[in-house]
Amino acid sequence: MDIVPLWGEESTMPKSRPPYPPEFRQRIIEPVRKGRTPESLAEQFEPSAQTIRNWLAQADRDAGQRADGLTTDEREKLRRLRRENKTLREEREILKKSRGLVCQGDRLDPIQGFEFVTAHRATHRLATLCRVLGVSPSGYYAWRRRPLSPRARADVTLSAQIQAIHTRSRGTYGVPRVQAELAAAGVRIGRKRVARLMRAVGVQGVSRRKFQARRAEIQPPPPHPIWSAATSPRSDRIGSGWRISPTSRPGPASSIWPSSSMCGVAA
């Protein structure tokens, strides 16, 4: 059976080639099943002998003749699940980073979304960023070609000043201190704008943990024992003509009274 090489016998293999099609693999496997060795086929065609053996083993797995690995369908399903898992992790990371962006109703402000895309294009794909933020790639490219507005140019200057102030403070100044430093330099802007620009350049202050005195838990006082003969300091008088009320409490007005026999009353 004649097998046509993928690029011809005289042609050289390009630097980057597509994977071998399934039809070509099947045509290579058939002569091996009829008795030809992988080494002889490797001398005539491009795949190495080990590659041909791997194709043969995978074909046996797909046919159910071997159970020492995954079939082609299982491998494809595993690759698809890994791609989906990677996409979900990337989208979750983008959502976590974009929590501080301002929304107009239920939608994100497009300008802030485009600025976020520009700041994170080095770590995330453009299509993923635009899909998660709800902005279009065409709108992003149109925004990039558009000249900056006066406020955007002012934001660029303010961002450089904020970074310089934050660097001088050794990374400790937050929004209030940065705003105070800008005001001292004659630049008066709102706190929210300072916070937005600090988030855009990726800087934040160091907050000291406030000390909170921990109060000791106050235990309720134990209940006072019932005034009885067993706990009465005058229990030695019991049986000698004194009676003690079982519900009386200790104190100067204790319910202790003499018996009728002591008062001269006949029993």
Higher pLDDT pick, 231 / 94: 94
Domain encompassing residue 160: 150-201
Residue 219, in any domain of the structure: no
pLDDT band at 66 (very low <50, low <70, confident <90, very high): confident
Co-location of 65 and 105 in the same domain:
no
Of 180, 201, 222, the last residue of a domain is: 201
Residue 223, in any domain of the structure: no
Co-location of 130 and 182 in the same domain:
no
pLDDT in tens, 139-173: 999 988 888 788 888 998 999 999 999 999 998 99
What is the number of domains present in the chain? 3
Co-location of 48 and 4 in the same domain:
yes
pLDDT at 242 over 60: no
pLDDT at 260 over 70: no
Residue 236, in any domain of the structure: no
Rounded to an integer, the average pLDDT of 17-24 is 83
Co-location of 158 and 103 in the same domain:
no
pLDDT band at 69 (very low <50, low <70, confident <90, very high): confident
pLDDT band at 84 (very low <50, low <70, confident <90, very high): very high
Question: Per the structure block, which two tokens stand in for 110?
Answer: 């497009």
Q: Quick one: which of 169, 198, 196, 193 has its CA closest to 181?
A: 169
Residue 98, in any domain of the structure: yes
pLDDT at 15 over 60: no
Rounded to an integer, the average pLDDT of 107-114 is 80
* Mean pLDDT for all residues in the chain: 78
Of 69, 101, 124, the last residue of a domain is: 69
Co-location of 11 and 54 in the same domain:
yes
Q: Tell me the CATH number at 23.
A: 1.10.10
> The whole model's pTM is what?
0.44
CA–CA separation, 166 vs 262, rounded Å? Answer: 93
Co-location of 21 and 63 in the same domain:
yes
Of 165, 184, 201, the last residue of a domain is: 201
Rounded to an integer, the average pLDDT of 26-54 is 87
Looking at residue 105, what is its pLDDT? 58
Co-location of 96 and 156 in the same domain:
no
Co-location of 1 and 49 in the same domain:
yes
Co-location of 20 and 38 in the same domain:
yes
Looking at residue 213, what is its pLDDT? 62
Co-location of 10 and 34 in the same domain:
yes
- Look at strands 242-244 and 256-258 and give their pairing: antiparallel
Q: CB-hemisphere CA count at 13 Å for 163?
A: 10
Co-location of 13 and 64 in the same domain:
yes
Looking at residue 186, what is its pLDDT? 92
Co-location of 178 and 163 in the same domain:
yes
Residue 212, in any domain of the structure: no
Residue 239, in any domain of the structure: no
pLDDT at 266 over 50: no
Residue 206, in any domain of the structure: no
Looking at residue 10, what is its pLDDT? 45
pLDDT in tens, 172-230: 999 999 999 999 999 999 999 999 899 888 888 887 766 566 666 666 666 655 554 45
Those residues with Cβ within 8 angstroms of residue 109's Cβ, 6 or more apart along the chain or in another chain: 101, 102, 103
Residue 43, in any domain of the structure: yes
User: Exposed e or buried b for every residue in 9-44, given b needs 16+ CB within 10 A?
Assistant: eeeeeeeeeeeeeeebbeebbebbeeeeebeebbee
CA–CA separation, 226 vs 264, rounded Å? Answer: 30
Q: How far is residue 132 from each of residues 86, 118, 179, 263, measured CA to CA in Å?
A: 14, 14, 32, 98
